[in-house]
A and B are shown apart, each in its own frame.
Chain A
């Protein structure tokens, strides 16, 4: 069983469209994250949730809206997609907040905006 799973793996879309990425973890973790990895492989935190509550919103444009229906799921909806949104988006989870736990990553969603 995959611990952290994301769908879709690939997303190709036109500028201006709206798209969603889904993430689920079956590890029983309390905390989930969205990271964006650019073409230079730099991983930057976007959001973190703990028990469905938003903890970090790292100056991400408000076109990006995360939603956590329960602590096992964290989805990312993106409105009015722009060329600069092209990147790989990783979902991750950890047992709890606080920085003393390891992160488990999903396999990523490669988003290409044309």
Chain B
């Protein structure tokens, strides 16, 4: 069965710290991996990684896909209190027409 696992489940850091969130997956016919940030309500899109785009960066956030290790990391440098959220990883497989989500990592950044 297709599976997505995120670690750690939760994390508390201080402003200015760097954090690394992990996502590992077991899917047949991998197509893409997506990262989302969820604060109060709807998840908002951060990055999509595919075989042709294994590294993405936006400001203090960056993500890398390791197709050999079947995993991805999301890095946040110089964290701010506004980064406090649940970070969700989702994986899509060709032909299954669905995105499978991990359990999320709950990040809390203290001032």
A residues in contact (CB < 8 Å) with B? 4, 31, 33, 35, 40-45, 48, 50, 55-56, 58, 90, 97-100, 102-108
- Cβ contacts B86-97/A at 8 Å (1 or 0 each): 101010111111
B27, closest chain A residue (CB): A99
Q: What are 27 pairs between A and B in contact, CB < 8 Å?
A: A41-B86, A41-B88, A41-B103, A41-B106, A42-B101, A42-B104, A45-B98, A45-B100, A48-B98, A50-B97, A98-B31, A98-B92, A98-B94, A99-B92, A100-B50, A102-B34, A103-B34, A103-B36, A103-B43, A103-B45, A104-B45, A105-B42, A106-B42, A107-B41, A107-B42, A108-B41, A108-B42
Q: Which of A42, A55, A105, A108 contacts B97 (CB 8 A)?
A: A55
A4 to B44, CA, bound (A): 12
In the complex, the answer to whether A103 meets B99 with C-beta atoms within 8 Å is: yes
* Residue tally, chain B, CB below 8 Å to A: 28
**Chain B, 61-92, CB within 8 A of any chain A CB:** 86, 88, 90, 92
The residues of B that contact A33 with a CB separation of less than 8 Å are 98-99
In the complex, the answer to whether A103 meets B97 with C-beta atoms within 8 Å is: no
- Is B7's CB within 8 Å of the partner chain A? no
* Closest CB in chain B relative to A5 CB, distance in Å: 11
The residues of B that contact A104 with a CB separation of less than 8 Å are 45
In the complex, the answer to whether A99 meets B96 with C-beta atoms within 8 Å is: yes
The residues of A that contact B48 with a CB separation of less than 8 Å are 102
A106 to B34, CA, bound (A): 17
* Closest CB in chain B relative to A53 CB, distance in Å: 11
- Is B38's CB within 8 Å of the partner chain A? yes
In the complex, the answer to whether B41 meets A44 with C-beta atoms within 8 Å is: no
Q: Which of B34, B95, B99 contacts A45 (CB 8 A)?
A: B99
A47, closest chain B residue (CB): B98
The residues of B that contact A108 with a CB separation of less than 8 Å are 41-42
